[in-house]
Amino acid sequence: MIGVLLGTRPEIIKMSPVIRECERRGLDYFIIHTGQHYSYEMDRLFFEELDLPDPDYSLDVGSGTHAAQTAGIMTGVEDVLTKESPEIVLVQGDTNTVMAGALAASKLHVRVGHIEAGLRSFNRWMPEEINRVVTDHISDYLFAPTENARENLLNEGISDRKICVTGNTIVDAVYQNLEIAKRKVSVLKDLDLEPREYFLVTAHRQENVDNRARLKEILKGLEGVQKEFSMPVVFPVHPRTEKRIKELGIGVDGLNLTKPFGFLEFLQLESQARLVLTDSGGVQEETCVLGVPCATMRYDTERPETLDVGSNILVGADSGKILAGVRSIATWKSDWKNPYGDGIAGKMIVMVCAAARSR
């Protein structure tokens, strides 16, 4: 039996190819949803949109301090794993769900498979970096998306026997879910947007939105982009970001602030944007796969492959650098080679897990 553990919307998206492959093969598996950022009820739309089965277990841990959240996830996951006794538990990415779930499984002597292993920003101020490192060093199977990620793991003394370079499940997810989006949504028409005639923005990271000076600079930079290019700047506002804007009393001028979109709507918007400005790691990957230029509002990234192939640049959280960065990439041609594989990562991961179960 395989346990699939997820807790945030990006994890649902990136796990979707793995879940579909388990379904296709008729494998015995179950899904735990921790509700790290939202309750399952709020995330139900994502499962329905992506044609995924409902989770078997919903922990509804919710937000809190890192310690409280980690403890709640470990306790809930331990109870489920004790009941189900899976041979392997799969976790994806770098959230508290990933680290806490891996710890709980490891202490019960359940094998752990870490999808998207080996990513490093080399910035320990980011809580996600700590989660990545801890999870990699207690996992039994490390599914690295690229050779660069594999090298990071080897440099930390992890055995090559544990590592499998699979590509990134985001490629599978983008290809599979774009087809679903074509059938289900028409968000450009709903927002009266023309392809390649708007910018798309996401911002949610703690180091950006919890810092008044940085958040103010980011918004100022986005306003400058809108004024200079005279194009809509569509900004689906993350609940955390909306809360901080209100708390800090920051004015916003000229931006098209919207509610958060479902993944299919967002994917459709992303695929047709002139360029995307973001502080999200997953969006850096998605734009690279989709052939859309990306300006990352951070000073480092655990997705260096996007910089190497020329799909992405780092512009930090300075308004002038954000505007200068957009000027430099707004006319880029999408002729880079996708470094994240050919869309079979989910199949490779499940194949390894199926083989592991028979040992």
SS (HEC) of 45-97: HHHHHCCCCCCCEECCCCCCCHHHHHHHHHHHHHHHHHHHCCCEEEEECCCHH
- Give whole-number Cα distances, 245 to 210, 256, 260, 317, in Å: 9, 15, 15, 15
Rounded CA gap, 131 and 111, in Å?
Answer: 18
- 204 is a catalytic site residue: yes
Please pick, among 33, 66, 137, 204, the residue that the annotation labels catalytic. 204
How many Cβ atoms sit within 10 Å of the Cβ of residue 26? 7
In the sheet that 163-165 helps form, which strands lie side by side, from edge to edge? Answer: 57-58, 29-33, 2-6, 88-92, 111-115, 141-144, 163-165
Task: Give yes or no for a contact between 300 and 317, defined as CB atoms under 8 angstroms apart.
Answer: no
Question: Active-site residue numbers?
Answer: 204
